[in-house]
Amino acid sequence: MEPNILARIAVRVVAIYVIARGIMYLPSIYTVLLYNDGRSGIDTAGIVAIIAAVFGPLVVGIVLWMVTPALSKWIVGEKNGGEESGTSIGQLQAVAISTAGLVIVFVSLPGFISLLIQTFGGAYEFEGQRTFNVNSVANFLASGLKVLFGILLVLGVRFWVRLLHRFKEFGLEEKSSNKLLQTDASSPRD
């Protein structure tokens, strides 16, 4: 299977997954709007966060589905209209790493947006200064690091593939047990 086709399949699977996560949260909008009478503690920032968590993945999934051909060419590094000289392990590794990065980004993004709104929209003033909940800020930063890591996996895919190849060149790959047995059998015994 050509790497470009594999990359298209991987990106489309991620798009379907992202859309499914958005659909999964649709009932939460109804629940929030049904029970939000102003006394339940859910403010406007909370409602916006829930709506963003639902419609954000839907929109992102649809856009991801539409840009799949260009994204798959970029992932495998095709140039000149898709001319390839065959499948290389580097291209397959690029597909795998990019897919993992996309999954990490799109799983973490709704929580990141929600925490962004809660952290900065929910800050209140105390004696003329804005105060933040330390736990919300810590969760926001951790979520932001997950999104950043996913983005770095996708955008830096060539770096990660080269790094894997460097590890292989320096002998950091696992030795085959057959080679060890052959070496032990050929060595003189005391």
Domain range list for the chain: 3-186
At what angle are helices 44-66 and 3-24 packed, to 10 degrees?
160
105 in Cβ contact with 154 (< 8 Å): yes
The alpha-helical segments, DSSP class H, found in the chain are 3-24, 26-35, 44-66, 68-76, 89-121, 134-155, 157-169, 177-186
Checking if the pLDDT of 186 tops 70, the result is no
- Phi, psi (rounded to 5 degrees) for 132: -120, 150
The predicted-structure confidence for 10-40, as pLDDT tens digits, reads as follows 888 888 888 888 888 777 777 766 766 656 5
Is the entire prediction scored with pTM above 0.95?
no
pLDDT digits (tens, 9 = 90+) for 39-55: 655 666 666 767 777 78
Name the amino acid, one letter, at 170: F
DSSP-derived letter for residue 79 is B
Most confident by average pLDDT, 133-137, 147-151, 155-159: 147-151
pLDDT tens, 61-120? 899 889 988 888 888 876 544 444 556 777 788 888 888 888 888 888 878 887 887 777
Instruction: Kindly tell me the sign of the dihedral angle through the C-alpha atoms of 155, 161, 167, 170.
Output: negative
